């Protein structure tokens, strides 16, 4: 998806971009409902067709969680995609649907910025330190305030404060049904 967005920079309406985000959120809701954590959600792992339908792919890092809504998958070793990964997953290698929600916020940012690299040229270490200090990515140019607010909600430090994928899908459905709410841009 990120290469597709870069190639078509500025060619889509906000509502088309929201439709893409909705498809991704719907796929993640399904995974979450089935008890899976993806662990590598990023625009590079989203497939998009000519109708702008987006599908979550690359399940190489996905794992099953126990039947506990607070379940987390803990791993040792292996590389972590720092720019897309929640702080607790980086620090303690604890992955959950809430850490996938953090990653989804980064994917939202990638979509709304037409495939820009999250945190630009910052080193991974600088990304980690900046997030610990409370830094969050600013709204991409032309991004409606409501979408940036959802990103910020996904990037809550406390994982229990992040939205569930069912909430994200409902929110995006409301925006699609009432596009006039998208007109307020971030100042």
Residues forming the active site: 40
**Residue 82, beta-bridge partner list:** none
Are 104 and 41 in contact, with CB atoms under 8 Å apart? yes
Are 171 and 151 in contact, with CB atoms under 8 Å apart? no
Q: Reduce the DSSP state of residue 61 to 3 states and report it.
A: coil
Q: Cβ–Cβ contacts within 10 Å for residue 183, how many?
A: 10
Q: Cβ–Cβ contacts within 10 Å for residue 86, how many?
A: 25
CA distance linking residue 132 with residue 86, whole number of Å: 11
Are 102 and 162 in contact, with CB atoms under 8 Å apart? yes
Phi, psi of 13 (to 5 degrees): -80, 160
């Amino acid at each position: 998806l990120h290469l597709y967005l870069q190639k078509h920079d500025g060619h889509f309406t906000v509502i088309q971009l929201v439709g893409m985000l909705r498809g991704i959120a719907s796929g993640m809701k399904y995974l979450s409902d089935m008890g899976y954590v993806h662990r590598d959600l990023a625009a590079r792992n989203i497939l998009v067709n000519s109708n702008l339908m987006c599908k979550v792919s690359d399940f190489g890092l996905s794992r099953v969680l126990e039947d506990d809504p607070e379940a987390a998958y803990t791993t040792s070793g292996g590389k972590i995609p720092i720019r897309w990964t929640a702080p607790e997953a980086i620090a303690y290698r604890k992955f959950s649907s809430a850490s996938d929600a953090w990653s989804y916020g980064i994917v939202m940012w990638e979509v709304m910025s037409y495939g820009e690299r999250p945190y630009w040229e910052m080193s991974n270490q600088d990304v980690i330190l900046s997030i610990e200090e409370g830094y969050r990515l600013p709204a991409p140019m032309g991004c409606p305030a409501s979408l940036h607010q959802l990103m910020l909600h996904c990037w809550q430090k406390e994982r229990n404060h992040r939205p569930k994928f069912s909430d994200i899908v409902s929110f995006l459905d409301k925006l699609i049904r009432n596009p006039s709410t998208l007109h307020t841009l971030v100042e």
